[in-house]
Amino acid sequence: MYGDIPEDLRRLIEPVVIDHDCELVDVELVRGRGPGLVRVMIDNRQGDGRVAVERCAAVSREIETQLDAADVISGSYRLEVSSPGLDRTLTREKDFVAACGSEVKLRTRRPLDGRRRFKGVLVEFADGVARIAVDGGEAQIPFAEVEKANKVYHFSRADFARSAKV
């Protein structure tokens, strides 16, 4: 989640993203065997998830320079910069507002009403609470309790239609 990004990383990464006329959506650090992974997710100002590969590459080069100069990642690491994609990650309150009316899947930090996983239509997001129509009822999930959330993309015939040549 956006709020969980370590402050030292946010201070280095966010200005680069802003300079490229984008918004920082999330930063994920994955450590394990071998080199670590720094996964950076960016979006354009319109929030539609359409960030050109060239822009992601340019942002990646600058972020890598910043990270190496500041030496904030110990050991070797790989850097990935991407857009939110079809199953758009919801990490900020504004992402939840924009996803109202869409199907979402969500995992909470701790059990709420005996469960941590929810999948249903995001009815409303207001005052820091997501209202989700799930299992014939409604769940109210505080934003602070959300560990991970994604918009569910449903493919249609149009996704597989051949585009007309101009």
| pLDDT tens-digit series, residues 21-41 | 999 999 998 888 888 899 999
Q: List phi, psi (to 5°) of 116.
A: -115, -15
Full set of structural domains in the chain with CATH: 2-82 (3.30.300.70), 93-151 (2.30.30.180)
Per residue in 39-81, pLDDT (tens digit) is 999 999 888 778 999 999 999 999 999 999 998 888 889 999 9
DSSP for residue 31? -
| pTM attached to this predicted model | 0.76
Alpha helix ranges (H) inside the chain: 7-19, 53-70, 93-98, 157-160
